[in-house]
Protein backbone atom coordinates (compact mmCIF):
# COMPACT_ATOMS: atom_id res chain seq x y z
CA UNK A 1 0.00 0.00 0.00
CA UNK A 2 1.38 3.38 -1.02
CA UNK A 3 0.90 5.87 1.82
CA UNK A 4 0.09 9.18 0.18
CA UNK A 5 -1.10 11.65 2.84
CA UNK A 6 -0.95 12.61 6.49
CA UNK A 7 -3.76 11.16 8.59
CA UNK A 8 -5.25 8.15 10.32
CA UNK A 9 -4.74 5.76 7.41
CA UNK A 10 -1.05 6.64 7.25
CA UNK A 11 -0.52 6.25 11.01
CA UNK A 12 -2.37 2.93 10.90
CA UNK A 13 -0.51 1.53 7.90
CA UNK A 14 2.99 2.67 8.88
CA UNK A 15 2.68 1.58 12.50
CA UNK A 16 1.16 -1.76 11.50
CA UNK A 17 4.21 -2.35 9.29
CA UNK A 18 6.49 -1.81 12.31
CA UNK A 19 4.35 -4.23 14.35
CA UNK A 20 4.61 -6.79 11.55
CA UNK A 21 8.39 -6.43 11.37
CA UNK A 22 8.63 -6.79 15.14
CA UNK A 23 6.52 -9.92 15.07
CA UNK A 24 8.63 -11.76 12.52
CA UNK A 25 12.13 -10.34 13.10
CA UNK A 26 14.89 -10.64 15.68
CA UNK A 27 14.16 -7.91 18.22
CA UNK A 28 17.84 -7.94 19.23
CA UNK A 29 18.78 -6.66 15.77
CA UNK A 30 20.77 -3.44 15.82
CA UNK A 31 19.12 -0.30 14.40
CA UNK A 32 22.11 1.43 12.76
CA UNK A 33 20.32 4.76 12.34
CA UNK A 34 19.33 5.08 16.02
CA UNK A 35 22.55 4.92 18.00
CA UNK A 36 22.71 1.87 20.22
CA UNK A 37 19.02 0.96 19.87
CA UNK A 38 17.89 -2.54 19.07
CA UNK A 39 14.69 -3.23 17.17
CA UNK A 40 13.06 -3.88 20.56
CA UNK A 41 14.06 -0.38 21.70
CA UNK A 42 12.60 1.16 18.55
CA UNK A 43 9.30 -0.68 19.02
CA UNK A 44 9.10 0.45 22.64
CA UNK A 45 9.94 4.04 21.69
CA UNK A 46 7.06 4.07 19.22
CA UNK A 47 4.78 2.61 21.91
CA UNK A 48 5.77 5.29 24.41
CA UNK A 49 5.35 8.08 21.87
CA UNK A 50 1.92 6.97 20.73
CA UNK A 51 0.71 6.45 24.31
CA UNK A 52 1.87 9.97 25.16
CA UNK A 53 -0.11 11.50 22.30
CA UNK A 54 -3.17 9.43 23.19
CA UNK A 55 -3.02 11.20 26.54
CA UNK A 56 -2.51 14.62 24.93
CA UNK A 57 -5.51 14.21 22.63
CA UNK A 58 -7.79 12.54 25.18
CA UNK A 59 -7.10 15.30 27.73
CA UNK A 60 -7.02 18.24 25.32
CA UNK A 61 -6.38 21.07 25.71
CA UNK A 62 -4.53 20.29 28.95
CA UNK A 63 -0.81 19.65 28.85
CA UNK A 64 0.96 16.40 29.78
CA UNK A 65 1.45 17.11 33.50
CA UNK A 66 -0.73 14.17 34.53
CA UNK A 67 0.79 11.74 32.03
CA UNK A 68 2.25 8.57 33.54
CA UNK A 69 4.84 6.67 31.54
CA UNK A 70 3.94 3.03 30.85
CA UNK A 71 6.05 0.14 32.09
CA UNK A 72 8.04 -1.60 29.39
CA UNK A 73 6.73 -5.15 28.92
CA UNK A 74 8.71 -8.30 28.28
CA UNK A 75 10.29 -8.57 24.86
CA UNK A 76 7.73 -11.06 23.63
CA UNK A 77 4.93 -8.60 24.39
CA UNK A 78 6.44 -5.53 22.72
CA UNK A 79 4.78 -5.96 19.34
CA UNK A 80 1.36 -6.38 20.96
CA UNK A 81 1.97 -3.30 23.14
CA UNK A 82 2.69 -1.19 20.06
CA UNK A 83 -0.33 -2.59 18.28
CA UNK A 84 -2.50 -1.59 21.25
CA UNK A 85 -0.98 1.90 21.32
CA UNK A 86 -1.68 2.22 17.58
CA UNK A 87 -5.32 1.25 18.11
CA UNK A 88 -5.74 3.66 21.03
CA UNK A 89 -4.17 6.54 19.08
CA UNK A 90 -6.46 5.95 16.10
CA UNK A 91 -9.48 5.87 18.42
CA UNK A 92 -8.39 9.11 20.13
CA UNK A 93 -7.98 10.93 16.82
CA UNK A 94 -10.93 9.46 14.94
CA UNK A 95 -13.58 12.03 14.05
CA UNK A 96 -11.79 14.92 15.78
CA UNK A 97 -11.52 18.21 13.88
CA UNK A 98 -7.79 18.75 13.11
CA UNK A 99 -8.29 22.45 13.87
CA UNK A 100 -9.45 21.72 17.43
CA UNK A 101 -7.19 23.06 20.18
CA UNK A 102 -4.78 20.55 21.70
CA UNK A 103 -1.47 20.78 23.55
CA UNK A 104 1.81 20.36 21.68
CA UNK A 105 5.41 21.39 22.23
CA UNK A 106 5.28 23.59 19.11
CA UNK A 107 3.62 26.89 18.26
CA UNK A 108 0.86 24.93 16.52
CA UNK A 109 -1.55 23.89 19.29
CA UNK A 110 -3.98 21.75 17.31
CA UNK A 111 -5.06 18.15 16.85
CA UNK A 112 -3.73 18.48 13.31
CA UNK A 113 -0.22 18.89 14.71
CA UNK A 114 -0.51 15.45 16.32
CA UNK A 115 -1.88 13.87 13.16
CA UNK A 116 1.04 15.22 11.17
CA UNK A 117 3.74 14.56 13.76
CA UNK A 118 2.63 10.97 14.36
CA UNK A 119 2.44 10.25 10.63
CA UNK A 120 6.04 11.31 10.14
CA UNK A 121 7.22 9.74 13.40
CA UNK A 122 5.91 6.42 12.12
CA UNK A 123 7.32 6.94 8.61
CA UNK A 124 10.87 7.70 9.75
CA UNK A 125 10.93 4.91 12.33
CA UNK A 126 9.56 2.45 9.80
CA UNK A 127 12.56 3.42 7.68
CA UNK A 128 14.78 2.66 10.69
CA UNK A 129 13.09 -0.69 11.32
CA UNK A 130 13.40 -1.70 7.69
CA UNK A 131 17.09 -0.76 7.62
CA UNK A 132 17.59 -2.88 10.73
CA UNK A 133 16.27 -5.98 8.95
CA UNK A 134 17.77 -5.18 5.54
CA UNK A 135 14.49 -4.32 3.85
CA UNK A 136 13.59 -1.59 1.33
CA UNK A 137 12.18 1.87 2.01
CA UNK A 138 8.46 2.20 2.79
CA UNK A 139 6.16 2.78 -0.17
CA UNK A 140 5.21 6.43 0.33
CA UNK A 141 4.22 9.08 -2.20
CA UNK A 142 6.60 11.96 -3.00
CA UNK A 143 4.13 14.46 -1.55
CA UNK A 144 4.18 12.66 1.81
CA UNK A 145 7.99 12.68 1.91
CA UNK A 146 7.87 16.37 0.93
CA UNK A 147 5.42 17.09 3.73
CA UNK A 148 7.95 15.50 6.07
CA UNK A 149 10.59 17.91 4.82
CA UNK A 150 8.19 20.81 5.36
CA UNK A 151 7.39 19.67 8.89
CA UNK A 152 11.05 19.67 9.90
CA UNK A 153 11.97 22.92 8.16
CA UNK A 154 8.92 24.83 9.42
CA UNK A 155 7.83 23.21 12.72
CA UNK A 156 11.26 22.26 14.05
CA UNK A 157 13.73 24.70 12.51
CA UNK A 158 11.85 27.95 11.78
CA UNK A 159 9.31 27.98 14.59
CA UNK A 160 9.81 31.53 15.93
CA UNK A 161 7.58 32.19 18.97
CA UNK A 162 6.41 35.72 19.70
CA UNK A 163 8.97 36.14 22.49
CA UNK A 164 11.94 35.46 20.17
CA UNK A 165 13.60 37.35 17.36
CA UNK A 166 15.71 36.27 14.39
CA UNK A 167 19.29 37.56 14.47
CA UNK A 168 22.70 37.15 12.84
CA UNK A 169 21.57 35.98 9.39
CA UNK A 170 24.20 34.09 7.41
CA UNK A 171 23.73 31.80 4.40
CA UNK A 172 20.52 31.61 2.39
CA UNK A 173 19.36 28.36 0.82
CA UNK A 174 16.71 27.08 -1.55
CA UNK A 175 15.61 23.47 -1.01
CA UNK A 176 13.74 21.86 -3.90
CA UNK A 177 12.07 18.46 -4.20
CA UNK A 178 12.55 17.39 -7.81
CA UNK A 179 9.68 14.88 -7.89
CA UNK A 180 7.08 16.98 -6.05
CA UNK A 181 5.81 20.54 -6.37
CA UNK A 182 7.53 21.71 -3.18
CA UNK A 183 10.26 24.33 -2.70
CA UNK A 184 11.50 26.17 0.39
CA UNK A 185 13.57 29.36 0.78
CA UNK A 186 15.35 30.09 4.05
CA UNK A 187 17.96 32.30 5.63
CA UNK A 188 20.07 30.64 8.31
CA UNK A 189 20.60 32.52 11.58
CA UNK A 190 19.82 32.47 15.31
CA UNK A 191 16.67 32.48 17.44
CA UNK A 192 17.31 34.83 20.34
CA UNK A 193 15.16 35.83 23.31
CA UNK A 194 14.10 35.00 26.86
CA UNK A 195 11.90 31.92 27.26
CA UNK A 196 8.96 33.15 29.38
CA UNK A 197 8.26 29.98 31.40
CA UNK A 198 11.85 29.27 32.43
CA UNK A 199 13.26 32.79 32.25
CA UNK A 200 16.27 31.35 30.43
CA UNK A 201 18.15 33.19 27.69
CA UNK A 202 17.80 31.40 24.35
CA UNK A 203 20.32 31.59 21.51
CA UNK A 204 19.76 28.70 19.11
CA UNK A 205 20.23 27.98 15.41
CA UNK A 206 17.14 28.84 13.40
CA UNK A 207 15.80 29.21 9.87
CA UNK A 208 13.76 32.16 8.65
CA UNK A 209 11.47 31.67 5.68
CA UNK A 210 12.02 34.22 2.93
CA UNK A 211 10.64 35.14 -0.47
CA UNK A 212 14.01 36.33 -1.77
CA UNK A 213 14.78 35.03 -5.22
CA UNK A 214 18.56 34.92 -4.72
CA UNK A 215 20.25 32.33 -2.52
CA UNK A 216 23.79 31.27 -1.71
CA UNK A 217 22.97 27.67 -2.56
CA UNK A 218 20.25 25.45 -3.97
CA UNK A 219 19.86 21.95 -2.54
CA UNK A 220 17.78 19.59 -4.63
CA UNK A 221 16.85 15.93 -4.79
CA UNK A 222 13.89 13.59 -4.79
CA UNK A 223 11.62 14.17 -1.79
CA UNK A 224 12.38 10.85 -0.08
CA UNK A 225 16.14 11.42 -0.24
CA UNK A 226 15.84 14.98 1.05
CA UNK A 227 13.59 13.93 3.92
CA UNK A 228 15.94 11.10 4.89
CA UNK A 229 18.98 13.40 4.63
CA UNK A 230 17.33 15.98 6.88
CA UNK A 231 16.61 13.24 9.44
CA UNK A 232 20.22 12.05 9.26
CA UNK A 233 19.35 8.78 7.56
CA UNK A 234 21.61 7.34 4.83
CA UNK A 235 21.05 8.36 1.22
CA UNK A 236 23.01 7.86 -1.95
CA UNK A 237 25.43 10.80 -2.34
CA UNK A 238 24.24 11.30 -5.90
CA UNK A 239 20.62 11.65 -4.75
CA UNK A 240 21.17 15.20 -3.45
CA UNK A 241 22.82 17.92 -5.51
CA UNK A 242 24.14 21.31 -4.47
CA UNK A 243 24.50 24.38 -6.65
CA UNK A 244 26.26 27.44 -5.31
CA UNK A 245 28.22 27.86 -2.10
CA UNK A 246 29.39 24.50 -0.75
CA UNK A 247 29.49 25.79 2.82
CA UNK A 248 25.74 26.40 2.84
CA UNK A 249 24.98 22.67 2.81
CA UNK A 250 27.35 22.11 5.70
CA UNK A 251 25.86 25.02 7.63
CA UNK A 252 22.31 23.74 7.09
CA UNK A 253 23.43 20.29 8.30
CA UNK A 254 24.89 21.91 11.42
CA UNK A 255 21.64 23.80 12.13
CA UNK A 256 19.59 20.60 11.76
CA UNK A 257 21.93 18.58 14.00
CA UNK A 258 22.07 21.22 16.73
CA UNK A 259 18.30 21.73 16.87
CA UNK A 260 17.20 18.12 16.47
CA UNK A 261 20.02 16.45 18.36
CATH code of the domain covering residue 47:
1.20.120.450
Question: Could you tell me if 161 and 95 lie in one domain?
Answer: no
Question: Could you tell me if 14 and 135 lie in one domain?
Answer: yes
- Give the span between the Cα atoms of 151 and 160, in whole angstroms: 14
- Give the span between the Cα atoms of 141 and 139, in whole angstroms: 7
Looking at 79, 109, 140, the residue that finishes a domain is 140
DSSP secondary structure code for residue 151 in this structure? I
* Cα distances (angstroms) measured from residue 58 to each of 54, 81, 261: 6, 19, 29
Q: How high is the pLDDT of residue 143? A: 96
Domain of residue 178 covers: 143-260
Q: Select the more confidently predicted residue: 250 or 138.
A: 138
Q: How high is the pLDDT of residue 212? A: 73
CATH number at residue 205: 3.30.1050
Looking at 140, 173, 200, the residue that finishes a domain is 140
Question: Could you tell me if 180 and 127 lie in one domain?
Answer: no
DSSP secondary structure code for residue 38 in this structure? B
Q: Read off the pLDDT band of 261 (50, 70, 90).
A: low
> pLDDT per residue over 120-156, tens digit each?
999 999 999 999 999 999 999 999 999 999 999 988 8
User: What percent of the chain lies above the pLDDT cut of 90?
Assistant: 74
Question: Could you tell me if 111 and 176 lie in one domain?
Answer: no
**3 in a structural domain:** no
Q: How high is the pLDDT of residue 249? A: 79
**1 in a structural domain:** no
**2 in a structural domain:** no
Strand segments, DSSP code E, in the chain are 164-167, 172-177, 182-194, 201-209, 217-221, 240-244
Question: Could you tell me if 147 and 87 lie in one domain?
Answer: no
Question: Could you tell me if 235 and 158 lie in one domain?
Answer: yes
Question: Could you tell me if 104 and 196 lie in one domain?
Answer: no
Mean pLDDT across the stretch 32-57?
97
The tally of domains found in the chain comes to 2
Question: Could you tell me if 209 and 162 lie in one domain?
Answer: yes
| pLDDT reading at 171 higher than 70 | yes
Q: How high is the pLDDT of residue 71? A: 95
Looking at 105, 140, 175, the residue that finishes a domain is 140
Question: Could you tell me if 196 and 72 lie in one domain?
Answer: no
Compute how many other C-beta atoms are within 10 angstroms of the C-beta atom of residue 170: 14
Question: Could you tell me if 55 and 134 lie in one domain?
Answer: yes
Question: Could you tell me if 226 and 147 lie in one domain?
Answer: yes
Question: Could you tell me if 157 and 136 lie in one domain?
Answer: no
**200 in a structural domain:** yes
> pLDDT per residue over 215-237, tens digit each?
899 999 999 999 999 999 999 98
> pLDDT per residue over 85-105, tens digit each?
999 999 999 999 999 999 998
- Mean of the per-residue pLDDT values for the chain? 93
Amino acid sequence: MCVDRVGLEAIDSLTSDIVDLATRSDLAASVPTCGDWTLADLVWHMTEVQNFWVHAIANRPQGPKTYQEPVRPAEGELAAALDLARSRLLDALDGVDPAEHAWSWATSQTVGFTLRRQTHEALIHLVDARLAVGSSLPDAAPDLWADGIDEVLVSFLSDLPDWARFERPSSSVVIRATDADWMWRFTLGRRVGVEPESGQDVDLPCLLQTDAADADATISGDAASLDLWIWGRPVEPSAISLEGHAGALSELRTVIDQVMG
